Chains A and B, each alone.
Chain A
Amino acid sequence: EAGVVQSPRYKIIEKKQPVAFWCNPISGHNTLYWYRQNLGQGPELLIRYENEEAVDDSQLPKDRFSAERLKGVDSTLKIQPAELGDSAVYLCASALGNLWAGELFFGEGSRLTVL
């Protein structure tokens, strides 16, 4: 069974440029999360989807970040314009249902460097 797939794995951009990350969750997983992990820190939630609905986006910096999950499967996270402080690993995770107890499956992440 394929895991959570993310692309690109690495991205280097200059500040003020836009960037987008793509995530394909495990087949059948209707709950999808985007986390951001800064160097030496644990992941922090940006947004949570149940199917195509964003049920928790309280920590998403909406002035520059946007996300969508069309048809309740793949998801895209966009940053426009990027700032130096956005350099981090962006992790996508999925789960079966919304009452899982611990079993979040993470992708390998998209590592962003903003110069």
Chain B
Amino acid sequence: QKEVEQDPGPLSVPEGAIVSLNCTYSNSAFQYFMWYRQYSRKGPELLMYTYSSGNKEDGRFTAQVDKSSKYISLFIRDSQPSDSATYLCAMTKAAGNKLTFGGGTRVLVKP
């Protein structure tokens, strides 16, 4: 069993819909949680990161962490075709340590 599980999708939504993504993990030592976006044939780029439990909002993006359930989520409001990409969750035990990634969820926003 992988330390971080993520549904591979693809997740297809109409433009303007809310995209809901999530990851589960098994290692309770993880403290920092991130979401990266990866376009085809590009490197991942950081969207959001949170420390410990709680919510964080940045524009159309909201990240949630529930450490008691070992579950993290990313919501994308008013989705756009340009949001079509693979979304990777990642987490680490301490700042500067290696990131453990989920396998990524492919998202397709249809105009």
Contact = CB atoms under 8 A, between A and B. Distances in A.
A105 to B, nearest CB: 8
Contacts of A111: 41
Contacts of A103: 46, 49
Contacts of A41: 103-104
A1 to B, nearest CB: 14
Given A44-B101, A106-B44, A108-B41, A98 B90 contact: no
Contact of B44 (A43, A44, A45): A43
Secondary structure call for the A interface: loop
Contact of B99 (A45, A98, A107): A45
Interface residues of A, number: 28
Interface of B: 4, 6, 8, 32, 34, 41-46, 49, 51, 88, 90, 95-96, 98-99, 101-104
